[in-house]
Amino acid sequence: MTPEFAFLAAVLISLQLQLHFADAFGSASTVAVAYGTATVCGITAGKQGQRIQCYRGHEVISVLPHVSFEAISGGQRFFCGLRTGGFSLHCWETDAGFQPKRVYHSTAFPLTDLAVGDAHVCAREVISGRARCWRGTERDGSLFPSPDAALQFQTVTSGSGFSCGILKKNRTILCWGSNGIGSKIQSQFGNLSMVSLVAGESHVCGLTASSGVIICKGNSNAGQLEVPIKSAHEYTDLALGASFTCAIRQKNGAVSCWGGGAEELNIQNNINFNDSFELITAGSDMLCGLKTSNLIIMCWSKANKNSPVVLPLGMIIPGPCVQDPCSSCGIYPNSAFLCDGSGNICKSCQRELPIAVPLPKKPESQSIPGSSSPTRARNRLTLAFLIVGAVGVLAGACTILFCISNCLALCSSSNTADNLELKTIPQALMENYSGRSFSLMELAAATSNFSSENKIGGGSFGVVYKGELSDGTEVAIKRGENNEKTEDPQEKQDAFTSELATLLRLNHKHLVGMSLSIKAVSTQSL
C-alpha cells in the first residue's frame, strides 16, 4: 500500500490591524502592552528559546531573538523582560529602535514578579522577598523609591506613580511611590488578607485569602471598583486599565469587564462568551487576552470598537517555562511542545475549565520515501486530502473535470492502488500561482485537531472544518478520507486537482484577499 500524503490549500482572509495608544499597568505576564507607540509584545511558544516578539505599526519585531525570557511587563513607551532564571532584567524603549538596556544582573539574587508602571519598574528577589525598583518619572528625572529592604513581599504590582505588594508575614497590602495614590489605596485595604493583587492607573484589585472574592480599592470615577459578582471563587486572572476592570471567570475562562472604560471599548458587546482565555492584560484604554483554543493574542481598543483585533504574533506561552517541579495542580497540557523541551509550564490551581486544546506533535524532519513495503503500507490505509477554501466554492467544484498531463507522473508503473504514490502537485497548477505554505501541524492546531465542533459541511470526498490560524486568519479546511474498498485513489486525485484548478480561476465578491498555497506533507501524525 501507499504512504499517506496530504495536500494543503488555503484561502486567506486579510485582517486590518489597528491599535490605539494605551498605557500598560499591572504585573508580570507573558503578554505586555507599551504606551505611546501602540506596541504589544508576547513570549513565543513552540520555538527554540522563549523569545520576545512585538507588534507595532503593522510590523512584527523580534527582540533579542536568541535569548529566553520568562516574563514581560509594559509601561510608558517602554517594556521590560525578565530573562529565564531571573538573573537579568532588560528594558526596551519602543520609540527608540528597541535597543535593549540591562537594568539588573545578579546570579546570586535572581528576580521574579516583574511589574512595570507608567515610568518605573519593580521586581521581587526570589530568595529574600525584597522588592526593588528602578527608573522613574521622565519629567523631573527622579528615581522611583524602593520600600524598606527588610520587608518581605509575596508579590508586587505597579500602577501610575505607585506600586503595591502583599506582605509575606500577614498577607496585608503595603504601597509606596511618588504620589499619594498608593497610600490612599493601602489605607482602604486596611488589614484585609489577600492572595493576589493587580494595579491599574489609579486603582488596585485582588482576591481575598479567606474566600477568593474580588476586592477593588482606589479611584472609582467610572465604576471600575463595582464588581458585578461578589461570590467566592468566581474570578481568577485580573487586568486593570485607567477606568475599567476585567477578570477571567474561573469556571469557563470567559472574560467579564466593568467600569466606564469597558463601555467605551465596547468589550462586552464584542466578546464571544464561549471563548476561553488563559490570561488577560490591560492598558489604560486597551485589553488583550490569550485565547485558550490557539494561544494567540486578541485585543480590544478604542480604534477597534466594532470587533477585536487578532495580532500576528503566533502562539504565546500561557506561563513561564520552568525547570522546577510544578505544584499539586500539575503541568499545563502540551508543555513539552510549548516550551520546546526546555521545561514545563505549571498549571494554574485557580482554573477549573477548560484546559488547552491538545496540539499536534512537531513532525520530524525526514525525506519522503520512494517506496514502502506491502506490510508497512497495510498499516496506513487512509489517504488524506486537506483543502482550505470557501465552503460554497468547494461544494460545486468536485463536478468540474480538469485534466493535466503531469498528473500521470504521480502514479507508479503499477496500475494497482497498492503501488500508487502521490509525489507532487501538478506543475501546471504551481507555475502560475504561489503563496504561503502551511504545515499539517498548523492546520490541525487551527481546527482543534479537526474537532467535530468545528465541522461546517462536507463535499464529494471529505469534511469541511472551520479554523483560525495562529495569526488570526480565518480559513476553511477540507479533509477527505479514502475508503479503499469503494474508492479509487487516482479518481480522488483527479477530483482534488479539479478543485484546485477551479479555486485558482475563481473570483468572488465574498472571498477577500485570496492566496492559494499547495504543499505535500506526511500525515502520519494525524
Cell of 42: 508576547
Helix (H) or strand (E) holding 387: strand 384-388
pLDDT bracket for residue 480 (50, 70, 90): low
- Per-residue pLDDT, 18: 41
Please name each of the domains of the chain with its CATH number: 5-13+377-522 (3.30.200.20), 24-311+319-338 (2.130.10.30)
Please give the annotated binding residues for ATP, written as ranges: 478
Q: Give the C-alpha separation, 50 to 421, whole Å.
A: 39
Q: Which of 85-99, 153-167, 496-510 has the lowest mean pLDDT?
A: 496-510
Q: Does the pLDDT at position 122 exceed 90?
A: yes
Report which of 15, 27, 67, 21 is spatially closest to residue 40, judged by C-alpha positions: 21
Report which of 57, 49, 87, 92 is spatially closest to residue 72, judged by C-alpha positions: 92
In percent, the amount of the chain with pLDDT more than 90 equals 44
- Per-residue pLDDT, 316: 97
Contact between 205 and 240 under an 8 Å Cβ cutoff? The reply is: yes
Cell of 328: 499539586
Please give the annotated binding residues, written as ranges: 478
* Chain segment 374-398, per-residue pLDDT in tens: 333 333 333 333 444 444 445 444 4
Cell of 7: 495536500
Report which of 515, 500, 272 is spatially closest to residue 387, judged by C-alpha positions: 500
Greater confidence (440 vs 478) lies with: 478
Using the Cα atoms of residue 371, residue 372, residue 378 and residue 380 in order, give the sign of their dihedral: negative
Greater confidence (238 vs 457) lies with: 238
Q: What's the whole-number average pLDDT of the chain? A: 76
The secondary structure of residue 305, as a DSSP letter, is S
- Looking at the whole model, is its pTM more than 0.85? no
Count CB-CB contacts under 10 A for residue 480: 23
Contact between 181 and 159 under an 8 Å Cβ cutoff? The reply is: yes
Q: Does the pLDDT at position 364 exceed 60?
A: no
Q: Does the pLDDT at position 206 exceed 80?
A: yes
pLDDT bracket for residue 76 (50, 70, 90): confident
Q: Give the C-alpha separation, 282 to 255, whole Å.
A: 12
Using the Cα atoms of residue 34, residue 39, residue 44 and residue 48 in order, give the sign of their dihedral: negative
In percent, the amount of the chain with pLDDT more than 70 equals 66
* Chain segment 12-61, per-residue pLDDT in tens: 323 333 433 333 455 789 999 987 788 999 999 988 889 999 999 889 99
- 140 burial (CB, 10 Å; 0-12 / 13-18 / 19+) is exposed
